Amino acid sequence: MAASNVLLAPPRRLPAAVLLTVLPAFLLLTGFLLVPLLLLALYSVYSTDPVTGLMRPDFTLDNYLRIVTSSVYRRVFVRTVEIAVVCTLIALLIAYPVGYTLGAIVPRRRQPFLLLLVIVPFWTSYIVRTYGWIGFLQNGGFLDSVLSLLLPGTVQLDLLYSRVAVVIGFVHVFLPLMILPIYAITRSLDRRLLEASADLGAPPWRTFLRVTLPLTWPGVVAGASLYFIAVFGSFVTPQLLGGTGDLMIGNLIADQFGEAFNWPLGAALAVVITLVVLVALGIFFRFADLERLHG
Partner 1 sequence: MTMYDVELQNVTKRFGSVVAVDHIDLCVPRGTFLTLLGPSGCGKTTTLRMIGGFEHPDEGTIVIAGQLMGRTPPYRRPTSMVFQNYALFPHLTVAENIAYGLRERRLDRQTIERRVQEMLRLVALEGYGNRYPRQLSGGQQQRVALARSLVIEPAVLLLDEPLGALDLKLRRQMQLELKRIQNQVGITFIYVTHDQEEALTMSDQIAVMNQGRIEQLGPPEELFDRPRTRFVADFLGAANVLTAEVLAADRTSACLALAGGRLVVHEPDLAPGQTVAVVIRPHWLRFARDGDAAVWQGRVTERVYKGATIAYRVELDAVTAVTVEVPTGTGDLLPTVGETVGLAVAPDRVRVVRE
Applying CB under 8 A, the residues found at the interface with partner 1 are 190, 192-193, 195-203, 206, 210-211, 214-215, 291, 294-295
Instruction: Say how far apart CA 142 and CA 139 lie, in whole Å.
Output: 9
Please enumerate in sequence order all residues whose Cβ is within 8 A of that of 199, keeping only pairs 6 or more positions apart, or say none: none
DSSP string, 165-209: HHHHHHHHHTHHHHHHHHHHHHHTS-HHHHHHHHHTT--HHHHII
Residue 172 CB, shortest distance to partner 1, in Å, is 33
Residue 106 CB, shortest distance to partner 1, in Å, is 19
Q: 118 or 202, CB closer to partner 1?
A: 202
Residue 180 CB, shortest distance to partner 1, in Å, is 22
Residue 289 CB, shortest distance to partner 1, in Å, is 13
CB of 114 within 8 A of CB of 106? yes
Residue 122 CB, shortest distance to partner 1, in Å, is 32
Helices (H), the chain: 2-8, 16-29, 35-43, 62-69, 71-100, 111-123, 126-137, 142-150, 163-173, 175-187, 191-199, 204-207, 213-232, 236-241, 249-257, 263-294
Residue 205 CB, shortest distance to partner 1, in Å, is 11
Please enumerate in sequence order all residues whose Cβ is within 8 A of that of 84, keeping only pairs 6 or more positions apart, or say none: 228, 231, 232
Q: 68 or 193, CB closer to partner 1?
A: 193
Q: 22 or 196, CB closer to partner 1?
A: 196
Q: 174 or 217, CB closer to partner 1?
A: 217
Residue 122 burial by Cβ neighbours in a 10 Å radius (0-12, 13-18, 19+): middle
Q: 82 or 195, CB closer to partner 1?
A: 195
Q: 147 or 198, CB closer to partner 1?
A: 198
The closest of 60, 38, 40 to 48, measured between CA atoms, is 60
Q: 12 or 109, CB closer to partner 1?
A: 109
Residue 181 CB, shortest distance to partner 1, in Å, is 18
Instruction: Say how far apart CA 173 and CA 179 lie, in whole Å.
Output: 12
